[in-house]
Amino acid sequence: NIEMPWSVNSYANAAGRCIFKNSGYIERTKEYIRKEREYLTCELSEIKWIRVFKSDANFILLKLLEYDEDIVFERLIKNGIMVRKASNFEGLDRRFIRIAVKDHDSNKKLIKLLKEFE
C-alpha cells in the first residue's frame, strides 16, 4: 500500500521554515525535551507496575505490568491526558503504551495519575 504524506497548509509551511532557520530555538527545544524526558523516566521508574524503556525521542514506551492499555487509557483520557496504545505495534501487546514528552505541568499530571493506581 502507498500512503499519502500528510499535507501541510501554507501557514504551517511558512512557520516551519522560520523555526528551522532559528538554530537557537531548535537547541533550546532539544534540551527541554531531554530534561523532561529524563524527569519522566526517573519518576515513572519508581512506579512498581510500570517498566520504562530508554528513549532518545520525544516519547517513551511503557510496559504495564499489572494493567492493560484500556484501563490506563480510559483513566488518563478522563483526566485530559492522551496516550498512544501500542498493542498494534509489531511485537507489542495490550500491556504497552507510549507517552509523549510534554510541558512540565502535563508531565507532572501524568505521573500523579499513574501513581494513583498504586
Half-sphere exposure of 109 (CA within 13 A, CB side): 16
Q: What is the pTM of this model?
A: 0.82
Q: How many domains does the chain have?
A: 1
Cα dihedral 13, 17, 18, 19 sign: positive
Query: Cα(98)–Cα(83) distance, rounded to whole angstroms?
Result: 6
Q: What is the pLDDT along the chain (118 residues), one digit of tens a residue?
A: 666 666 778 888 888 788 778 778 889 999 999 999 999 999 999 999 999 999 999 999 999 999 989 999 999 999 999 999 999 999 999 999 999 999 999 999 999 999 998 7
In a domain, 4, yes or no: no
Q: By three-state DSSP, how is residue 100 classified?
A: strand
In a domain, 1, yes or no: no
Number of Cβ atoms within 10 Å of the Cβ of 8: 11
| CATH, residue 107 | 3.90.1150.10
The domain of 106 spans: 10-115
Would 3 be classed as within a structural domain?
no
Is residue 39 domain-resident? yes
Structural domain includes residue 68: yes
